[in-house]
Every structure is written in structure tokens, then in C-alpha cells.
Amino acid sequence: MPIPHNEGHADQLTMALLTWNPSYSVKIAELDGHHQKFFYLMNCLHDAMSEGKGNRMIRGIVKDLVNHTRTHFQREEALMEQANFPGLEAHRTAHQHVLNRLAEFQDALDRKRVVNTAVVLEFLRGWLPNHIHEMDQSYSSHLNAKGIH
């Protein structure tokens, strides 16, 4: 079941766990949009859990997360490479860790195993804001100086 996307407006969800705000901006519109969608997906899972639908919705949300994460990381890394960003390899390593963790969730779901929705949510809540603030914002000025906005 595809998850409805509201163009990154997580504040329209019932009970947003975390809401994207300008403090999360990397000053590159396309990537900010990608990050907003991460917040939206995380909040979809949170809402589903709050409504007692977490187990029913987890498969679709994890699938959307895996697909969005791959697309986002590929684009982000391509922009960093284009701009000769010196932190690219460290970023790739961090990205691979996230992809591996999401693949573990996806694999468990594909094998019809129970995946604790709270574990997925805690992973996202711990990773997303920290990754944006600690890693992604480190490339902003470099990419902006190369004309990438």
C-alpha cells in the first residue's frame, strides 16, 4: 500500500514526532525537500503507532524509507562529488551504515518476521536529526560556494 505523500509537510500529521524546520536546512532546496520527506515518513510511522496501526503500516513505510534513502543518498553523494567535497568518503561510510540498518528491517519484514515498530522509529529519530546537523550541514557552504543551492 503506497504511503500518501504531502510534499514534506509533516506538521499536517496528527501527532508529529519531529517536524522539519529551517534549523535543519542544508541550504540546497532539493536536499531540504528530501530531508522533509524523511521527517514525513518518520511521522507517518509515529502516527500509525499512535493509532494502533504500526504493525499494519510498517512494511509500506520501511519500503518507502529504503527507496527514498537510496535515491537521496545517491543524489547527495553525486552533488558532493561534483563539488569535490572533501568529506565525501566519510559521508559515504555513514550512508552505508544507514542503508545496512534499513536493509535489516526490510529483510526481516520480507521474511515475515515481526519488526518492532518502536525500534525502527527510535533508529530514525536518533539518526535523522543528528545526521543532518552533524554531517549534512557540513557540506552546505562548500556546495553553495560551487554554485549548488
Q: Are 91 and 138 in contact (CB under 8 A)?
A: no
Give per-residue pLDDT as tens, 17-27: 889 999 999 99
Domain at 28-145: CATH code? 1.20.120.50
Helix, strand, coil percent content, the chain, rounded in steps of 5? 70, 0, 30
Give per-residue pLDDT as tens, 6-16: 444 444 445 57
What is the residue extent of each domain of the chain? 28-145
Give per-residue pLDDT as tens, 38-86: 999 999 999 999 999 998 999 999 999 999 999 999 999 999 999 999 9
Where is 114: in which H helix or E strand? Answer: none
- pTM comes to 0.87
Query: Residue 135 and residue 116: Cα distance in Å, rounded?
Result: 28
